[in-house]
Amino acid sequence: QLQLQESGPGLVKPSETLSLTCTVSGGSISSSSYYWGWIRQPPGKGLEWIGSIYYSGSTYYNPSLKSRVTISVDTSKNQFSLKLSSVTAADTAVYYCATELVRWFDPWGQGTLVTVSS
Amino acid sequence: EIVLTQSPATLSLSPGERATLSCRASQSVSSYLAWYQQKPGQAPRLLIYDASNRATGIPARFSGSGSGTDFTLTISSLEPEDFAVYYCQQRSNWSYTFGQGTKLEIK
């Protein structure tokens, strides 16, 4: 049974780069069956897909965030990562990593709150 | 970008009642629609995929229907643990969008 866990700083300064890692357990990130995704949720608001990656490194991103997002994968560590550059207060959110199966996300990590503030 | 509009924004019902939640897409998404449940402080949980297929472990009281632009999530008889926020989600053209959510609250 796949389990995902996000990790990274909970506080990032404006204009800096947000960096998070998702560690996958209970299965291989190199499985051909899955993509791996990042989704975020500002406090009290809805869900926004950020982007996804395949174990080969193939990525696709939300067009509204594409210029600031980089998602990478480290198969040796069974991890994938998110970098979001030039952050502002609007990027304050709970960030989730999730397994992308065909056209939906399941399971999800527990989420990690990242606050953008000086 | 395909926009998903959920209605109502808030639904107030009592345990034992039937809940009907709607999700409308701005253009056809075929049957490629999923539903999630989110409780406070928790990650979303997949309920339904491809419009009408229950995810593993999801009780039979949850059902999904629809195709094209109009979709419905039905909870046949509400249990106390069903009061939560529900989101629909679609994938098309290598992009995902979510609806804004429906809050199901206890009346």
Torsion angle in degrees (nearest 10) through CA of A71, A45, A105, B74: -170
| A55, A66, A90, B56, B88 from B71: Cα distances, Å | 33, 29, 31, 20, 9
Would you state the pLDDT for residue B93? 86
* Pick from B43, B89, B96: CB nearest A111: B43
**Do residue B43 and residue A47 have CB atoms under 8 angstroms apart?**
no
A26 DSSP assignment: S
pLDDT tens profile A95-117: 999 999 989 999 999 999 999 99
CB B104 within 8 A of CB B98: no
For chain B, what is the mean pLDDT? 97
Would you state the pLDDT for residue B76? 97
pLDDT tens profile B8-48: 999 999 999 999 999 999 999 999 999 999 999 999 999 99
**Mean pLDDT throughout A54-77?**
97
Burial label for A47, CB within 10 Å (0-12, 13-18, 19+), is: buried
Tell me what percent of the residues of chain B surpass a pLDDT of 90: 97
CA B30 to chain centre: 16
**Mean pLDDT throughout A62-82?**
97
pLDDT tens profile A5-60: 999 999 999 999 999 999 999 999 999 999 999 999 999 999 999 999 999 999 99
**Mean pLDDT throughout B56-84?**
98
Give the count of Cβ contacts less than 8 A between chain A and B.
Answer: 57
Would you state the pLDDT for residue B66? 98
Would you state the pLDDT for residue A54? 97
Q: At residue B57, does pLDDT exceed 90? A: yes
> Tokens in use for B70?
């109009």
Is the peptide bond prior to B44 cis by the omega test (within 30 degrees of 0)?
no
Would you state the pLDDT for residue B64? 98
Q: Which residues contact A114 (CB under 8 A, 6 or more apart)?
A: A8, A9, A10, A11, A12, A18, A20, A91, A92, A93, A94, A95
CA distance A82 to chain B (A): 17
> Tokens in use for A80?
């994938």
Best of A50, A103, A108 to disrupt the B interface (most B CBs within 10 Å) is A103
A103 DSSP assignment: T
Q: Which residues contact B81 (CB under 8 A, 6 or more apart)?
A: none
| A63, B46, B76 from A109: Cα distances, Å | 23, 12, 29
Best of A40, A47, A96 to disrupt the B interface (most B CBs within 10 Å) is A47
Q: At residue A75, does pLDDT exceed 90? A: yes
